[in-house]
Amino acid sequence: MATHLIVLAAGAGTRMKSDLPKVLHEVAHAPLFVHALGSAADLSPERRILVAGHGADAVKKAARSHDPALDIVIQSQQRGTAHAVAQAREAMAGATGDVFVLYGDTPFIRPETLRAMVQARRDGAGIVVLGFEAADPGRYGRLLLRDGRLERIVEYKDATDEERSVTLCNSGVICADAERLFELIDRIGNDNASGEYYLTDIVAAAREAGLGTAAVTCDEAETMGVNTRAELARAEALFQARAREAALGAGVTLTAPETVHFAYDTRVAQDVTIEPHVIFGPGVTIESGARIRAFSHLEGARVAGGAVIGPYARLRPGTDIAERVRIGNFVETKNARIHDGAKVNHLSYVGDAEIGAAANLGAGTITCNYDGVFKHRTTIGDNAFIGSNTMLVAPVSVGRDAMTASGSVVTMDVPDGAMAVARARQQNKDGFARRFMDRLRAAKNKDRI
């Protein structure tokens, strides 16, 4: 049966104190709404709709770059969660199956939890609500059960003291029969303490319409929403804690897990070792058998097995590191393919480059890739030996088995097997240094007298 997704993200997020719409604040380098979408990715939703309002232009732009297939609908006035869902009516026309409503600021709902909700739908409920036992129920909506069945939801503002004493709270996530959702939404009014159209009233509406309703529960940690910067920081910490546990569980060695920071999409294979204080930006894949040494920073890079990166290395987007490559300390790579067994061990910049297998780049090798306007490529052949402190002024190529003399500024292509020397020839002036220093010292002593 088809699954669809409506993510609510029109709210102002006032408590973030930010010009950026709340759902664009990031956890592990991905906007909050991307995490919400990720919870449901396992269910391969057919239609995915984001309801935007505050900062809709910025949300649209971010959505296009992260997920071009996402359908954005606009709720121009925030008149409540049911009103927000109603904005998705056209985008959902003719849809059948299950539709989930998630909040864009709630990043941690687990796929297993959503699957349990789908199961409750299969068991006959038209509306399934995700609840949780709250340690401190505060101002959450309360789930009211009768004979073990979900009867209705009451918002805190509208609840009696007795209802407020209920600790089973509403997470906000619902799963509904796609063919009945909007008909039920139409039954919802705004005669309540906030004058808003509450999505929570869909439970009572479903019961009136003779549909079954059910509550599924999850751990409170999953329903954590982000409303403030402090909660954003807590969400980041929670994400990292989970990512570290997941990596350890998947056979990755982390010598100091609490110092390693993953991105939302970091992929690390079994038998990778990650030393302390390693930071992953987006788009990194580390293959089995690689070692990432301490204090390295990686982003948009693939590292193959047997490679050793760092300590203190920086891999930037477009880096592709083949088997057994060595990238040493204070080496920066960008848009660079480095083939099997090549070595870039010390103090280098390798950008817009292809480095052949088993090539060796000496300390201080720099690809001068940028002329102030355009970027140019450097190609180095297999087995080449680049002398220390070589400047490779791109576009330029060094052939296979070729060498450059250290200190060279290489501006012309170097043929296979050749040696390029591109620096001033050395002269030795016999006795010059002593005579020169004697003269300076004599001049200094004369001044003192």
Positions annotated as catalytic residues are: 346
Q: In one letter, which amino acid is 83? A: H
Q: How far is the CB of 272 from ligand UD1 (least distance, A)?
A: 36
Residue number of the CB closest to ligand UD1 reads 141
The smaller minimum CB distance to ligand UD1, of residues 153 and 347, is found at 153
Long-range contacts of 307-316 (CB under 8 A, 24+ apart): 310/275, 310/278, 311/275, 315/284, 316/351
Q: How far is the CB of 330 from ligand UD1 (least distance, A)?
A: 44
Would you say 364 and 346 are in contact if contact means Cβ atoms under 8 Å apart?
A: yes
Q: Using CB atoms within 10 A of its CB, is residue 415 exposed (0-12), middle (13-18) or buried (19+)?
A: middle
- Comparing CB distances to ligand UD1, the nearer of 77 and 445 is 77
Report how far residue 165's alpha carbon sits from residue 170's, in angstroms, rounded to the nearest whole number.
Answer: 14
Least separation in angstroms between residue 65's CB and ligand UD1 is 21
With the C-alpha atoms ordered 363, 369, 370, 371, is the resulting torsion angle positive or negative?
positive
Radius of gyration of the chain (CA): 31
Is residue 416 within 8 A of residue 402, CB to CB? The reply is yes
To ligand UD1, the closest distance from the beta carbon of 6 in angstroms equals: 10
**CB nearer to ligand UD1: pick between 13 and 364:** 13
* Interacting residue ranges for ligand UD1, rule: CB under 6 A: 8-11, 51, 53, 75, 78-81, 83-84, 103-105, 140-141, 153, 155, 169-172, 198-200, 225
Distance CA 304, CA 286 (A): 6
User: Which CB sits closer to ligand UD1, 100 or 140?
Assistant: 140
Return the ∠ at Cα 93 (arms to 89 and 95), rounded to 5°: 115
The answer to whether the CB of 188 falls within 8 A of the CB of 203 is no
Taking the complex as a whole, the smallest distance from the CB of residue 308 to ligand UD1 amounts, in Å, to: 44
- Decide whether 172 or 300 has the Cβ nearer to ligand UD1: 172
